[in-house]
Chain A
Amino acid sequence: MEKQGLGTQDININFFKPVGEFMTKDVAMTKIILAVWFVAVYGFLFLLVMVADPNDTVQVTLSTGEVVTQVTGKSFLTEMRFLGFPFHYFYMAEFCIALFIAQCWWYCKFSDDLEAKHGKTEKKPGQPK
């Protein structure tokens, strides 16, 4: 690996202030993927809490011994059926996993293209050092 165009100026690598064209594009894509990833799982979890039927509650004993009343989470999302499943269950246990695979596939395609465009794919296979 030879140094290229680094000059003498001080460089700092920071996820939020990418330097170099390659890193800038890579970080932009990473941000999109992580945003989709986070919202798909935890956004849906938040949605489950938001739309839950406030009248359908259950008493739960916490590990501290305290007894609280909370919503069970029953809503149109849990009562709607999709391929036989309660919809929320299908979404989490089946769809999200497929989404993760698709996201990984998408990122790999993107990275291959990016490396090809920069013409810096490795010359020959071999162990790095």
Chain B
Amino acid sequence: MKRMVQWGLSLFFVLMASNVFAAVEDLNPEGKFKVIPGLLMISLLILFVLVGVFAKAKNTEDYWAAGRGIGQMGGGAAIASNWMSAASYLGMAGLIYLKGFFAISYVLGWTGGYVLLLVLMAGPVRRYGKYTAPDFVGDRYYSQGARLLSALIVILISFVYSVGQYKGIGMMFNWIFGINYQTSVVVGTLVVLAYVLISGMLGATKNMQVQYVVIVITFFLPLFFIANKLGYFSAVPQIGYGAALYDIGHGGNGLSAELAEPSFYLPFIQNTAYHWFALCITLMLGTAGLPHVIGRFYVVPKVSDARWQVVWGLFFIALVYWSAPCYAAFAKFSNLMGTTGVAIAPDAIVVNAAELAGLPEWFAGFLAAGAVSAAFSTVGGLLMAGASAFAHDIYFRVLRPNATEETKMKIARIGTVALGLSIIVVALNPPALIAQIVAVAFALGANTFFPLFLLGIWWSRTTKEAAIAGMIVGLVVTFGSMLIPKTSVLAYYVPFTSSAILGVPLVLLVMIVVSFMTPEPAREIKELLYRVHNDE
């Protein structure tokens, strides 16, 4: 045992020192420890835990009884803070910086999906009255097999989604503490796990509203100063960056026309309209099919509140999504003006934008701390979703139906740690940009849970065989699109970030055909669906 630990440790240090992992840019080549950003980040994490502890007295029922208006707004803020991760905070601006208008499909995909979620899923799912996505699948499709498979998919989605978050955390730790990216990922993981377990044990899960406020303030504040510094309308930088876009494409505000890059704003220079469509629709369908997002409807006592919190949630998300393209545009503008001396990485462009504009270090530190908070709040939710899929849906429902609450809790904790540690393996050598990795998680959600919920709710003829066949086809399409050679024609039409363009129609077709070939569901299911759709 001791020897194994020794071997493991030496292997770890050899890997850390080697150049095996060279995919991620070093944001802090001098290895400088940035004191103010470091202190900012640490105090934020402590604040979250403390707020959670003091807010503990309020349980869910009290909370919703406190006042409907406040409850809906608070529920919306919780949706938004759960939703906003390193992908929204860092990844989106990074891709817009690289790909210009093409990456606006991320902005629209991750907001437009909420319309689908609201009109097709929220009400019926809440009236159906189940607690987790695999619970719904197992019940609606009257099958333990379907429950098991869907629980595995929940874990897979959490895994892929978290890889992107780990990358964000690693890059920010690298920027703040001056340790290299791989060490940062490992240190970051340990901090995340400690944070999740401490919060969980202290019952500190109700700090989502505070997290949202922190995310929005850190994301908004530097923007005014950047816009001001670059000479754009800074009272509302979300409008002010429009002129910067125009200048990037045509020259102006000190930028000569020869240096202008029209590819930043023109729609189809870096990609085709088809790819724009494929990516945007994948993200929209994925939004409506992510189990931990749908899960937010179950805990709300009233159907009406479940719906209204979507409106608030979307509004709060929009505040950040209106701002992310500003960072990309301002960074691009500074870059074209020839600012030097800043280590740039697309996935850190939000932090780079503050540095490029020549603002004092603590502005960038503010953003780095905000990015870490965003990643932490999402990883926390994802690890818990994955661990509860394992402890509740697999262990309790399938393997040991008579397990005690205590054993379940223990299994959930072990699951959290195991999942959290296993993600490191992929995160050390991340396969793509943050937003792209997260897009794969959305494609997976779109190809599996979206058809399951859509047909499960809206077509009573869907059978359990169809559900299982659909999940298998969805998994094959999602992972198949990652494995086919990048130069093949198929990879051109079905990019790994956009596989739902093929996956969703195919899975729906398979599910409908299989349903007609297999015996129809029992009358109880049809009656239940009738009531779900008629508010009875």
Residue positions of A touching B, CB distance < 8 A: 1-4, 6, 10-15, 18-23, 26, 29-30, 33-34, 37, 41-42, 45-46, 48-49, 52, 58, 60, 62-65, 70-74, 78, 81-86, 88-90, 92-94, 96-98, 100-101, 103-105, 107-108, 111-112, 114-115, 118, 120-122, 125-129
CB-based contact B318/A98 at 8 Å: yes
CB-based contact A120/B535 at 8 Å: yes
Q: How far is the CB of A20 from chain B (nearest CB, A)?
A: 4
1/0 per position for B280-294, CB-CB distance to A under 8 A?
110000000000000
Contacts A/B (CB < 8 Å), 24 sampled = A10-B526, A11-B460, A13-B530, A13-B533, A18-B533, A30-B120, A34-B116, A52-B267, A60-B272, A64-B489, A64-B491, A82-B242, A86-B242, A88-B101, A89-B104, A89-B242, A100-B111, A100-B318, A101-B311, A101-B318, A104-B310, A111-B304, A115-B303, A127-B301
> Does B50 have its Cβ within 8 Å of any Cβ on chain A?
no
> Does B464 have its Cβ within 8 Å of any Cβ on chain A?
no
CB-based contact B269/A58 at 8 Å: yes
CB-based contact B115/A37 at 8 Å: yes
The distance in angstroms between the C-alpha atoms of A70 and B276, with both chains bound, is 15
CB-based contact B127/A107 at 8 Å: no
Count of chain B residues with Cβ under 8 Å from any Cβ of A? 78
Q: How far is the CB of B220 from chain A (nearest CB, A)?
A: 16
**In this complex, which of B64, B276, B536 has the most chain A Cβ atoms within 10 angstroms of its Cβ?**
B536
Contacts of A18 in B (CB 8 A): 533
The distance in angstroms between the C-alpha atoms of A120 and B271, with both chains bound, is 50
The distance in angstroms between the C-alpha atoms of A126 and B242, with both chains bound, is 47
Residue positions of B touching A, CB distance < 8 A: 61, 64-65, 101, 104, 107-108, 111-112, 114-116, 118-120, 123, 126-127, 129, 233, 238-240, 242-243, 245-246, 249, 262-263, 265-273, 276-277, 280-281, 301-304, 307-308, 310-311, 314-315, 318, 321-322, 325, 458-461, 486-489, 491-492, 495, 523, 526-527, 529-531, 533-536
The distance in angstroms between the C-alpha atoms of A90 and B49, with both chains bound, is 39
CB-based contact A125/B246 at 8 Å: no
Contacts of A26 in B (CB 8 A): 123, 533
CB-based contact A49/B273 at 8 Å: yes
Which of A20, A60, A63 contacts B533, CB < 8 Å?
A20
CB-based contact B240/A84 at 8 Å: yes
The distance in angstroms between the C-alpha atoms of A2 and B530, with both chains bound, is 12
Q: How far is the CB of B325 from chain A (nearest CB, A)?
A: 5
Residue of A with least CB distance to B525? A13
CB-based contact A12/B461 at 8 Å: yes
CB-based contact B487/A64 at 8 Å: yes
Q: How far is the CB of B212 from chain A (nearest CB, A)?
A: 16
Residue of A with least CB distance to B247? A84
Given contacts A12-B461, A19-B533, A23-B534, 7 further A-B contacts (CB under 8 A): A48-B273, A70-B272, A72-B268, A86-B245, A104-B118, A104-B311, A107-B118
